[in-house]
Structure 1
């Protein structure tokens, strides 16, 4: 079983989907995640996210078969026709650790997942083999099979075919400012900055294959947490209704040692909550520098 959560670890990812039943077939039936909770978004929880219009929406929570402390939540919501993957600021993708990445395209045939980047070893990057898929809500998942740790960070090995969310990928207009915010606000550390031709971004914006993007990985010690990508001209604010959860990759939940120790402007005051993710602990939500929703879950039980 995966190690327990510590400060900075991602313990949840929330995605909006237009058809919850169909998405459950994808996430449970194809990815093999186990449904651990069903219900609707309460008015109080929706308000804590600053998304009151999401109250009453159907929701399920799932966990990996490994037992890792990570909860995937799917919330049913209309899909704005103007929303396209990896074209707007905010959470652009969730990165999951997996086994047998080259077997995943066949496993996903006929599902609601579209393979947008087939498994491919990266030249000069022997640490992992990635692939990318988009779901029914146009959410993007990176499925990475880890081969070895990187020089400055540890990459988790999957203990089930699909395991936990270990990096959230963030699209921003000002990468340096976002790096500074995550260091100050969440007490993370900046890892390496890479300048590279990022094929997923270049395809999304119809840019030349050699167009370069700067990315920085925010870490806690040797644990990667958030990859911050500086997006090109043409990127827009995430479309969707102002009072509801954003479409696609909507919200990330990160464990912290203490909410009181963080000087943040909460959308609503921290409070203890029940359920598969919260388990009686306090949580509160903030908006990050690109408007992204970050829910912080206190490790000590309230």
Structure 2
């Protein structure tokens, strides 16, 4: 019995020593980690303030945007809510604005809205009319460069190195040419014309891309990346009309300026007279002049409306001035 009692007395100090001795070391480690976190933005130094939270989420949004752009994927509002904002959905505007500032200052890029796919078939237009009453906020973005044009030269900014610079150069050249062909045809190119153009380019069956050696495989990737869209419309006779339009990414990355640049590079220079005539023809093919002509009467009508409203406002102001003068005379009397 005395031996058992002695063992109990010796075990009590050992338990106390095990509990008490590591405490100061643990506290020192926590203090050191806290100072490190403060040096790297305070991510783990306790509850972050509202400003620190916005800054950290903006950095996450920048990383997400760059990752999506590398894969040619649109940055969607749902991805931002899920992977960046979480439960702080109401801070979207402030986080987005700060991410835009970081992209412009550090990377020379900015997020721009991706246009929606065109509603070209009758069924698509009817569905669009039914959904007009619903709110249409921006749901997808992509990155574009904000650098001046003189710094966007391919000799300065090379194509991405994934998978290789050569492969990316080929891919960029192919989708730029196909987007230009569709836009110069009024924004819609029948499938038969597309096949003829691909044959002229030597792309009717095989392609120079190692990972997309077949044309069908390449066009599916172009559709997936959003450069072109294959549209099938029923004619009611058992056959379908198939044609191609420009996709959202094709409109942003290439667009009218890209088409004009491609044509002028291949066929002539804008500063020469022949080049200027060619550019005017390209503008007509793109429908730029028609949109300008349609916008002119609207602008004139808006100007006339503003002038009429000013004329109506002047007599009213004169009447008010006369009333004020009468009041002043009455007060003087």
TM-score, normalised with respect to structure 1:
0.25
Higher relative contact order (CA 8 A, sep 6+): 1
The structure with the largest helix share of the pair is: 2
Whichever of the two has the greater Rg, that structure is 2
